[in-house]
Amino acid sequence: MEIDPADLKLVDKMGVELDRRDKPRKELRKYASGDHPVPAHVTHAELETEYRVLMEQAITNWPELIVKAVSQRLAVSSFYFAEQDLGREAWGHWQRNRMDQRSRQIHDAALIDGRAFVIVWNDENGKPTAYIDDSSTTVVMYDASGNRVAALRRWKEGERWYATLYKPGEIVKLIGPEKSATCPKGEEWEARTVEGEEWPLTSKLPIVPVVEYALNGSIAAGEFGSAAGEFERELPIVDRINTTIFSGLLAQTYSAFPVRALIGDKIKYEQKKDADGEPVTDDDGKPVMEPVAPVKLAVNRLIQIENKDGKLVQLPEAQLDNYIKFAETHIRHLAAITQTPAHYLLGEMVNLSADAIRAAEAGLISKTKGHQIDLGESHEEVARLFLLVDDPEREIPDDIETRWKDAESRSLAERADAAVKLAAINMPWQLIGEMVLGLSEQEIARAQANVGADALGKLIATGGTEAEPVTPA
């Protein structure tokens, strides 16, 4: 089967972008998993083994905490269309694809290295199905208006490379040569056929069925967009914190105790002995000498020095407070720049009022709501694809909106008080339930059913006379 040369050029171009992203992506993934690099001054040190042990102990996984602080506040509650049946249908596809749980994986991936992807296609039963992916295998290309032009998923299984090119109305599946050490280029790709499936695969979808979740991008994005991980620009601060704690561990290990020294007395030597207790000699047969401790201290021993000029001195231990304060300074810088509450990183939370906590978390909440806008747009596009894959002929309105659970920390008493006050100004109780109490679509539907049951019960109890209307709080 002949492959369109334009498709091969497109695959190569998008493959170059995938390769370009690979190194920074791996670095960010390592940081997020706690596998931080060892500084050069440690790897070049004479005591490298001991230093490496201390360096591993010095690492604290700040990046993971920065990501989780935001990720734990990102939870989709429903989709809204003016036509309510569409919203319920989209939410049904969302639930069937277990996206409540999988969306957290999407959010985490996007927060770590800036990007995550969802491919929507039909399964063997024709049902819309979401396949999530990260930036290691998938890339999307855009036009000047920000519309998706094409997407590429490229991966390796065993010793063979595979690729799938997604275009509006068409999907091109490719395979590389057997036992290929490097990724194929140009005409090295071959058509990959699937039994019972045409090649290239015709799609009824007018758009590319791959959605990118990109965070912290810039306006000068280019044809592949731009994105950055939540802590990507703060890696130098993370390294400084690790190095400072490492220096403190060094001081604790080697100088955090008083050092006693005998000054002015002659140094004594004795012949070195091997593990078997035999004297050690050099190649010329001469004894190998080593210094001997001048005194052996113990609680029941008395020190006696023959040399009148000799004296026993004690050097004070190193003070570790400076290392602790210096590390805390860097941690506060990290908290300020990433808008992570300082008490999350330092654990300093003593007698704080609710208002003080809310003020400390204001930056985090603001950042989280900003991410909700970016991620919400992508979730809405996935919801549209669910509906389109289910029925490619239908017209999907543009008024879809992703609704999120409240990102702020509020007590049940605060929510109840707000609900009562909003009900007093005649706000619809369904909106109060969603916006204030955080009820899901299913919980609101169950509440409506209960309201109907209560009204019917009152009607029966009064023998068919008019019952008082039931107004939910």
| DSSP string over 49-79 | HHHHHHHHHH---HHHHHHHHHHTT--EEEE
For 158-203, give the DSSP string: TTEEEEEEEETTEEEEEE--TT-SS---GGG-EE---TT--SSEE-
Separation between Cα atoms, residue 356 and residue 354, nearest integer Å: 5
Exposed / middle / buried, residue 41 (Cβ in 10 Å: 0-12, 13-18, 19+): exposed
- Which pLDDT belongs to residue 224? 94
Phi and psi torsions of 85, nearest 5°: -60, -35
Query: In which band, very low, low, confident or very high, does the pLDDT at 46 lie, cut at 50, 70 and 90?
Result: low
Across residues 326-340, what is the average pLDDT? Answer: 93
The answer, yes or no, to whether residue 14 has pLDDT greater than 80, is yes
- Which pLDDT belongs to residue 431? 82
The answer, yes or no, to whether residue 275 has pLDDT greater than 50, is yes
Task: Name the pTM for this structure.
Answer: 0.81
Separation between Cα atoms, residue 346 and residue 279, nearest integer Å: 54
- For the chain, the average pLDDT equals 87
The answer, yes or no, to whether residue 25 has pLDDT greater than 60, is yes
Across residues 314-330, what is the average pLDDT? Answer: 88
Does residue 69 contact residue 409 with C-beta atoms inside 8 Å? no
Count of CB atoms situated within 10 Å of the CB of 308 = 8
Exposed / middle / buried, residue 431 (Cβ in 10 Å: 0-12, 13-18, 19+): exposed
Across residues 266-277, what is the average pLDDT? Answer: 86
> Which of 44-58, 249-263, 407-421, 423-437 has the least mean pLDDT?
44-58
The answer, yes or no, to whether residue 336 has pLDDT greater than 60, is yes
CA distances for 89 relative to 83, 93, 98, 119, 445, angstroms: 10, 6, 14, 19, 14
E strands, 239-371, in order:
259-263, 269-271, 289-291, 311-315
Separation between Cα atoms, residue 434 and residue 441, nearest integer Å: 8
Across residues 161-176, what is the average pLDDT? Answer: 95
Query: In which band, very low, low, confident or very high, does the pLDDT at 457 lie, cut at 50, 70 and 90?
Result: low
Residues 6+ apart with CB under 8 A from 448: 430
Among the listed residues 219, 174, 142, the one whose alpha carbon sits nearest the alpha carbon of residue 4: 174
> Which of 28-42, 98-112, 221-235, 456-470 has the least mean pLDDT?
456-470
The answer, yes or no, to whether residue 467 has pLDDT greater than 70, is no
122-153 pLDDT, tens per residue? 988 889 999 999 999 999 999 998 899 999 99
- Which pLDDT belongs to residue 215? 95
> Which of 73-82, 175-184, 313-322 has the least mean pLDDT?
313-322
Across residues 181-201, what is the average pLDDT? Answer: 91
